[in-house]
């Protein structure tokens, strides 16, 4: 999984019907670069500035209640930021 | 998912039969580099210059009506570009 | 999917039996770097110098007639090279 | 698979229920860069400073006793560090 | 698939039981960078210094006799190194 900081959210009015009901968060990798910022779906209620744990690709399927075209899902909110030693 | 800008489309006359009926868009990552430009299939009708949300790899399967060899699919058109802060 | 230029092919005498019958093309990413050159299986008959559309990972399964350990498959031959604007 | 050094662990109180029971390790790629540090689930009992073998994406499924939204799993602890020649 | 040079192997005494019986090779990408060196399972008998074809992620499943948490598998040994033109 990746650690990432929630930077904001996006709004998409014209979208795949299976995406309705998810928040779509802008997530910047905690260890990586801003250029690798991606979008993750969320149902845990992560807020802007929080550090989240994101599962990607095939693993997302197991975290969803029902099938959706989502390749990155917030699966945890991290209690305390680790040091970047 | 990734955010990307639609830069154009490609035409492929000799292609896998299961790809017939999809538009094949040239998508440049919004946060990333031009060198990571990729091709995404689209049925939402995204136009050149629009910002799209693209699902990749396993997640694509859930977004398709029927099975096709597609690893990147437009699943949303973004209402307003987020800041690149 | 990725766009790539066919640079050559490889020959492998000792290989997994399920790979028999596929041409194994050396493909250089069209937008990316030479260092990301990879090998794609082909049954469409792409020739050296042609620009091809390659599906990767899970999507390959849908493009194969039968199960094989292939993670990149040529699914289209592009009619005309897009500009690299 | 990737080789990585265990650098620490993360605690997530609010997390997906299927993640309960796994240690979540901070893993820095052995050959790669610190910026590619990621989080892997562990049940083998790897300790900080140990070199681990991590399976990712679809392969994780086969290593789990039951379904969970995990995309990186420790599948081995390496006896001796290879040279970085 | 990727082309890679076999640089050595790793020994892991404490490992997932489904990994027993596979050689775990250290593989350096032929076109890429040393930093992207990874570990691939092998049953074809590739030796140090040989150039191998490696399938990754979902495609591995088709190359295995039985289920294992392996995300990179040697599926061919290349007869002759291609030029790096």
Residue B82 located in a structural domain: no
CA distance C14 to chain E (A): 6
**For residue A84, what pLDDT is reported?**
81
Residue spans of alpha helices (H) in chain B: 60-63
Question: What CATH number is associated with residue C38?
Answer: 2.40.50.220
Query: Distances from the Cα of D8 to the Cαs of A83, B1, D3, in angstroms?
Result: 9, 28, 15
D2–E38: do the CB atoms touch at under 8 Å?
yes
Mean pLDDT of the region B39-58:
97
Tokens of C12: 């492998």
Residue D31's domain comprises: 2-77
Residue C85 located in a structural domain: no
Number of domains comprising chain B = 1
Q: Smallest Cβ distance to B80: which of A11, A16, A58? A: A11
For the cut 80, the answer to whether the pLDDT of residue C38 exceeds it is yes
DSSP C49: T
Residue A85 located in a structural domain: no
For the cut 70, the answer to whether the pLDDT of residue A5 exceeds it is yes
C40-85 residue pLDDT tens: 999 999 999 999 999 999 999 999 999 999 999 999 999 999 988 6
Residue A84 located in a structural domain: no
B67–C62: do the CB atoms touch at under 8 Å?
yes
Quick check: D48 and D74 in contact, CB under 8 A? no
> How much is the mean pLDDT over chain D?
96
Query: Distances from the Cα of D11 to the Cαs of A78, D42, D43, in angstroms?
Result: 6, 13, 15
Mean pLDDT of the region D59-69:
96
Quick check: D37 and D57 in contact, CB under 8 A? no
D7-28 residue pLDDT tens: 999 999 999 999 999 999 999 9
CB atoms within 10 A of CB C84: 10
Q: What is the ipTM of this complex?
A: 0.96
CA distance B45 to chain C (A): 18
Residue E59 located in a structural domain: yes
Residue A38 located in a structural domain: yes
């Amino acid at each position: 999984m990746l650690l990432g900081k929630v930077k904001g959210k996006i709004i998409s009015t014209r979208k795949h019907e299976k995406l309705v009901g998810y928040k779509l968060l802008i997530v910047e990798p905690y260890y990586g670069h801003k250029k690798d910022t991606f979008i993750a779906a969320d149902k845990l209620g992560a807020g802007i500035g929080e550090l989240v744990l994101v599962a990607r690709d095939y693993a997302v399927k197991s975290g969803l209640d029902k099938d959706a075209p989502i390749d990155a899902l917030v699966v945890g909110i991290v209690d305390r930021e680790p040091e970047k030693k």
